[in-house]
A = this chain, B = another copy of it.
Amino acid sequence: MKIIKSVAEMKNLSSTIHRSGSSIGLVPTMGALHKGHLSLLERINNCCDYSVMSIFVNPAQFGPKEDFSKYPRPFDIDCEKAQAAGCDAVFAPSDDEMYPKNYSTYVNVENITERLCGASRPGHFRGVTTVVMKLFNIVNPQVAVFGQKDAQQVIVLKRMVHDLNMSINIDVAPIVREDDGLAMSSRNMYLTQEEHRDALMIYKGIKAAQDIYIAGERSSNVLNDAVRNEIMKSELIDIEYVEIFDTVQLQKMEYVLSPALIAAACRTKQSKTRLIDNCVIGGTL
C-alpha cells in the first residue's frame, strides 16, 4: 500500500491510474479508523479498480471550541488497518499541504447546511464541502463513498455534486454498529462506560420510531416523540436535536409521505461527547 503525503504526488498517481484505464474509488476519512470506515473501503474495492483512502483531520470543519486538537490521530495503526482491508493508497496530506498560506477559497451549500448539525456547528459543512471538493480534484475518483451515519453530510455533498455538475458518483454505505447497537464513531472512545451504556438509548429511540412507522404511523410528532421518550430515559445524555426531515431539502414534514430522515444528535453530560445517529424511512438517501 502506498502512503502519499503530497498533493502533486497524489495527482500524478491518479493520472497514471486513469491513463491505464482503471477506475479509482475514494474513501474520505479523518482517520481513527473503525469497522465503519473499513466497510466503506470494502464497498470501494467491490466497485473500483484502485482504492484511495484519505486520512486528514480537516481543520476547516471544526469550530473554534471543538475537538480538533484532541481528535485522535493513530496514523500508523490506521495505515495497518487500511492495508489489511485491501486499501491501495492512503493519502495523508499535512494541514499546510491542504491549506497553504493565503488559502482563501471555500465551497458552501446554503440552506440545508443551516439545520440539524449545521445549527450547532456553524461553518462545519462549509469545511466539509471545501475539503471534499479538494479531495475530489486531487484524487479524481469515479466513486466516493460516505457513511449514512453522517446523513446530513451525505445530503449536502450530493447537493454540491449535483449543483456544481461534478461527474462523481456518491455511494452511501449503511451505518455500522457495535455489537450492542451503538453507531460506530471515532468519538465513541471519549465515552465513559456508563455513557456508552446510556448512548444505546439513541439507537433504541430511532428504532422505536422506525418500528411504529413500519406499523403505519405517519405523524412526525408521534415518531419524534418515540425517539425522544427513549433517549430521555437516560440521565447522562442531553438531546441536541431530534428531527424528521425530507431527505432532499431537509424540510420539516407534518406527515411522512415521502422519504424522510429521522436524525438525532446528543451530547453526554460528563465527557461532553457529541453523538449522532439516524435512519431513513420510506426510502433511501
Contacts and interface: CB of A to CB of B under 8 A. Distances in A.
Interface of A: 7, 11, 102-112, 129-130, 133-134, 137-138, 140, 159-160, 163-167, 248-249
A167 B165 CA distance: 16
B110 A108 contact: no
Contacts of A108: 105-108
In the assembly, how many copies of this chain are there? Answer: 2
A10 B208 CA distance: 47
A138 to B, nearest CB: 5
Nearest to A102: B249
A126 to B, nearest CB: 9
A104 B163 contact: yes
Contact of A104 (B7, B104, B159): B159
B104 A112 contact: yes
B105 A159 contact: yes
28 contacts: A7-B165, A11-B165, A102-B248, A102-B249, A104-B109, A104-B111, A104-B159, A104-B163, A105-B107, A105-B110, A105-B129, A105-B163, A105-B164, A106-B107, A106-B108, A106-B110, A107-B107, A107-B108, A107-B164, A130-B164, A133-B164, A134-B163, A134-B165, A137-B164, A137-B165, A137-B166, A138-B165, A140-B167
Contacts of A107: 105-108, 164
